[in-house]
Amino acid sequence: MPPVKKEKAEMSAFERKRLENIAANQAILKDLSTSAEKIMPKPVSKPKSTTTRKKATPVKREEPRPTRTSSRIAGLEADSETAKRKAEVDYEFAKEQAKAKKLRVSGDLNFNDIVVEGKKWNKDDNFLSGIMRGAQPNVRTFTEDDIQETTDEGLKALREKMSGLQLYEGYEPNQIKITPERIYSLGFHPSPEKPLIFAGDKMGNMGIFDASQTGPEVKAEDNGDDEEEPDAPEPAITALKLHSRTITSFVFPADGNHLYSGSYDSSVRKFDLQKGLAVEVFAPASLDEDLPISSIAIPSTDPNLLYFSTLEGSFGRHDMRTPSNTEIWQLTDKKIGGFSLHPLHPHLVATASLDRMLKVWDLRSIKGKGDARVPDLMGEHESRLSVSHASWSAGGHVATASYDDTIKIHSFPSAGSFKIGHDLDSDAMEPTSIIKHNNQTGRWVTILKPQWQERPEDGIQKFVIGNMNRFVDVFSSDGEQLAQLSGEGITAVPAVAQFHPTRDWVAGGTASGKLCLWM
């Protein structure tokens, strides 16, 4: 029996209506898409670029051009060969002149050739013949009350003595512009009879001031009429262009007949104070080699040896009798801001560098091979921030100034007994005194560096350092403050401070090239 086909159930009215609505909606959508295609333009496809994209070439800094001049006034025809040639010559001259400003000058320099022009500079040829952070201006951090409250009689007497130093009265500090630019280094001639100060500035000028001169009295004539005040007398100052860049340090031999100066222009010069002749005693073999010198020293035991540190982190020893005899050791990858030799045991070297380290080296032992050869490192101490300078005293103290706003004093009283290979452990390198001191000089003030008195007449080891509140501070080797030197007319920070080797004379130099002197 064949199967009986089942008839489909009749569609309900609701289902039929739902399908009709779906069909109607699809028809509407199709009609809308067709209309949109007719109305909208077809997008134009961009052809792919076959050339590779090149980086923009950096703009080359142009050389300084000469000032424009009028060819008509000069009698030259426009676009003539003469005018073109003149323009080319002027351009080349300006280019060479700009390059020569920073180029190290080699060879010997005579006094008459290096005198800096200017009305304030004494240019007399006979001048040298008779010479052997949060600074609060004028707010004291050491006062008369501190002196009076001192219970130790010896310390009180020393504080009264050092605080009794008076500002030089011959001329006001604002009148003693010893250098044209910012002072970076100071030096006292070792003579105990005459206060003679040497200053080095940012542009390589050396200023010389004789503080034995007295300011003349100026009396205005009383004629009953109101007249302008007479011009203030100016001190006799001589400035010499010894270097082409910053002079960073001075060294006087014991005889006082010569002066050595180190500079960022990679050279060290020996200036004869009698002849007025500056001889180059060290410089790299090539003028193209840059070896900026941050500090120099000459040991008292051998005046023929010159030691120097550089901004490249190297330390050198040069025998001035044989120009080719130079050894340079790479002590660190960072800048060495300053170093010093022990005055009595010059084989001991203390260096301060941008890597926050104070290091003590022994020059009697050189270790390593090839470029890795360095003096024996005896010990090191790390500060929280970079260390600006390390200064040895004759008593075996090393004073450092750091950007962590401290002055640290490290004591090595038995340094003379150190044998080759002696090790200074972390305890031995710990500072015996830590002094809170604002060392945030910023961009426009020279870095503060402690400087010991080399051979004090009273036998008391003491050092000076600039104070951001426009003073000069004096400290003893045990960290006690002895004085805070000040005076009328000091309008800038005397950041560069220097003691006379034996006398209690203190000099301070400012960013404007002015000199402050206490005696």
Q: How many CB atoms lie within 10 A of CB 404?
A: 15
- 55 — pLDDT class (breaks 50, 70, 90): very low
For residues 261 and 308, give the distance between their C-alpha atoms in angstroms, rounded to a whole number: 11
Q: Which of 324, 333, 281, 329 is closest to 309 using CA atoms?
A: 329
Higher pLDDT, 400 or 65: 400
Which residue matches tokens 């051998």? 302
For residues 329 and 332, give the distance between their C-alpha atoms in angstroms, rounded to a whole number: 9
Q: What is the pLDDT of residues 150-174, one digit of tens each?
A: 999 999 999 999 999 999 998 999 9
Does residue 330 contact residue 292 with C-beta atoms inside 8 Å? no
- 4 — pLDDT class (breaks 50, 70, 90): low
Higher pLDDT, 461 or 96: 461
Torsion angle in degrees (nearest 10) through CA of 68, 72, 75, 76: 70
Residues 6+ apart with CB under 8 A from 291: 266, 284, 310, 312, 314
For residues 70 and 82, give the distance between their C-alpha atoms in angstroms, rounded to a whole number: 13
Task: Map residue 162 onto helix, strand or coil.
Answer: helix
Q: From edge to edge, which strands make up the β-sheet containing 305-310? A: 293-297, 305-310, 314-319, 326-330
Domains by residue range for the chain, with CATH: 145-213+234-518 (2.130.10.10)
The mean pLDDT value for 193-208 works out to 95
Q: Which of 468, 499, 463, 493 is closest to 481 using CA atoms?
A: 463
Q: What is the DSSP string of 104-158?
A: PPPS-EEHHHHBPPSTTB---GGGGTT------TT--SS-HHHHHT---HHHHHH
Q: What is the pLDDT of residues 433-489, one digit of tens each?
A: 999 999 999 889 999 999 999 999 999 999 999 999 999 999 999 999 999 999 999
Confidence check: pLDDT of 2 > 70: no
